[in-house]
Structure 1
């Protein structure tokens, strides 16, 4: 066993060494996973604070395009005080290394820039400005996933005006070729130093990805300062043929001297990059031929397995998926290893097995599916059922539950819904789930998804009904009664109906959700039970509601903090009793009647 850090992280292989310290591959003995451990030897308290800042800021960001930070601490090594940062283990190349080999294909440049924008958007939504966006701080992993690294000089809160980017010794921090004008001046001219400074740096990176050249070429510091503050950058199309005008415009906007003239946020940049990527793809090879093609895949293993081997491995995958044994994840991992050795990592069968493994470990490793998705698109194609399912899962959950504005995913979700409809049918589970995520995203917009339902307003309830309501009949026709998606939609729409005063609509849904009212009254959430019984009574069936009110009232004294609820339930019971007596006097039937709505004003 190698050196142990904190009696937990066993150092295995030195991955790199720099001026501040080392990066090691290690095994986390507590959870049994490979990690990267960054060990630094700070010379000043300021360097220690920078290390701690990277841990505290990046450690609170959960996004597929931001390197995950797991742990941080201090340790003594060989008599020296050291600090360490534990991160997810990434294998790949930085964009600086990619650019050292030449200009990447246009499609890759746009994809990478888009994912950087997504990562910055997540950081900005959390109130964090990176302040050191540059090619060396962006990695493209071996599986094609973009990761933004090094939040060591990031700043929480962003700052809305003054405040400099100077260290305690008066040194300006950051990477000068990518530094926004307001960061050079420390906001002295009144320009805010916020997330738009990161967008300026992204503009510099995008320029370099498109052309191989930085927007400003000065070497000396004073020359760079003058160019960033006063010079206009060249249009990318003037440096390389075939670049669309939309990208010239985007680079110009990102590199605007005044941050108020730049795109409003990273989400807008991501959308514009996606639009440009679609336009480039639509033009086809005519645009692509101006760029060097991506390097051909050169596996380190032989790929000439004969038909018998392929059939055997295919059969193993089919049987694992059908039987789903308790150790299916371990068996899929072994199968992926065997497929990689026999057929190569880019073989469709290898990709499919890796996909099915990623699906089954999503709760433990949320990034595995996203990491394999680019390979699925490349190898299996966009219309393959597994690719559609994986994209619908990743995009749908990001739209419905992820950071930022859920509506920014609308176009991609609509495209996925159309694809899923062609492959799985209009009532296929993938199609309906994508529609559900689209409705959730459009209702949520830029807000967080509703957590406590009682905090929702009537306006929010109307919005959700407008988006989810049309989906419910298709879900009820196609899905099992206990489908989580169907149950969630029914619950949300029932509560929405309650909030807007539609007692009949609420009662109809509540009956389906809670067919056993006695069980609900005795064992269910008491607030929900009261809401359900009141809705049923006000919708015209106070007899059924009254039959269970006593059960609910009987248990409330034994629950803490329910005094107010007990008073409300008691008042509701009294109202229903008066209504039943009045109806019986009016028609003598004693049965359910239809005129109760006028007795219950909301």
Structure 2
């Protein structure tokens, strides 16, 4: 082919018009039809390249051909033909006369494009994406260099080289399971970065990044380090476009920020919806912006363990270079991409080993781990994350422990991948009730990251913050407070007071203050965080609502139940509007509304609320789910408050039986329901039966909590009250004395 410059006796290559890491694009003449075309050729791979890597690139190229050839839309580059000639794969496309958006920005000396052009490009790309998405195709690499503005003003999407057919998951999985990063960091969606499944909404996020750049002159996360770019996509809310360029129309600012929502559910539903909003905005109508959300901060409450955590970037991201954002002429690559270069070269090359305790000298470096091993471990790490997402915490922990051991052997104890696995080990331990072991794991991660990344690095602070949470799980709230306070000071110093991670730390610190009995301080801090989040993120942002939930909780602790009720209702209503009526967070807030109503003596309202909540929980979560049973427990309690004791007893017995079967006979919730049965029996005058149940509850609590625990002592007091009602006053008086002694001494004699 190099000599004749003729492919398949039909396509004559005339001149090279583009070159990249995977191939070349030539201007060519179709000798059969007498027209000029563009021919994309996959570069032949020499013997220095891994054969498996070569095979994968070839499969991707063939996939591009099959996908792209099926598309027929004015906004998508037309593919005429594809095949293989002398071992070289080729794709024949229409020849486009124009400039891609990357070139247009360069031509404009990195100044943003004119506003009318930006809006027109947005509308045309939205139209083209609407078509491709309807065909079940996701582009997955939308960026300025892949969008062409033709001389006549038409906008076309190019290069479906890593497109994905939604129905062909198995094939795609084989391509992505190799650890080869797909996509360009400056334009990748958070779900692409995390290695999660992607759909058409990932393209919408990438389009948001492109529009942000051509409208302002810079990408939303304008950083030179790929790791920082990826973390920006994952954690940081982009600045409004009009802070860079005031003349941009307000509707366009809202549209782009909606596209850049962190989770797919919070973006426009599809490209057609996006195009409609842009068209309305161009006519001056106000379609109204979507509510932009971010991953919610877990709500922490007694008896409801939750872990505040930031999802880790997958291991493959650490092998990524920044790609080419639109700065100068650098986007044209004149040599194959060096896939061995990356952010962690210092970790994996012999001359770049960090000076760690016990690390081998540069003169005798350990053998570099094979790409196959690293890819396998990355895949297993992802499998562990998926197990955790499904709630299989024990199995996830086993996977992460195994991967952590193998990564330590291959990469060293302080390598980011090793520490990422160990972090997940700690997380699974925390979720399975092994708080002491979790504390040890998080401590190791914090120390390792402190050595390799520095004490103020966000990843180091994340591990330290988890140690504080686990200390709280262990009841060591004063130590937790000290760690939270130190982390907060570091976050404020390095990130600022209004950074999301800083506010998340203050949120958890406020919760811990309430555990220390400093309820007024907890309330004030939670109120400040809620106000800050409302100002920065909006009143109905999930993070704002999570902290308002804490505000309501502290108001209840302070006995300010009317204010607590009002705040819980605001949270419940906002969550229903933002995340849906059946979302777990919405249902949790409704439960707390019921608690507040009961505290205010409004039992009839509470009863009706719990009845509806129990129905909704049963429909959403199932009849045996702990949250369904909590709602039914509240229903039974309020039946009793309304003196409907026969109904209350039936409800309590049923809930007790299910909890005993699902949670076990000595679980705190099971014992709470058993006590409620005893209460109902007492009110119905069946004191002998009530005494049996109260005694069983007290004995179980003594076994699990100890004789001096407040809950055990409350159970013994219930038992003594029954003895009184049965006329056994001497036994009751003796039991009351024993309880008083235990309370005074703090434990059994």
Q: Same fold (TM over 0.5)?
A: no
What TM-score do you get using the length of structure 2 for normalisation?
Answer: 0.35
Highest relative contact order (Cα 8 Å, sep 6+), 1 or 2?
Answer: 1
What TM-score do you get using the length of structure 1 for normalisation?
Answer: 0.43
Structure whose alpha-carbon radius of gyration is higher = 2
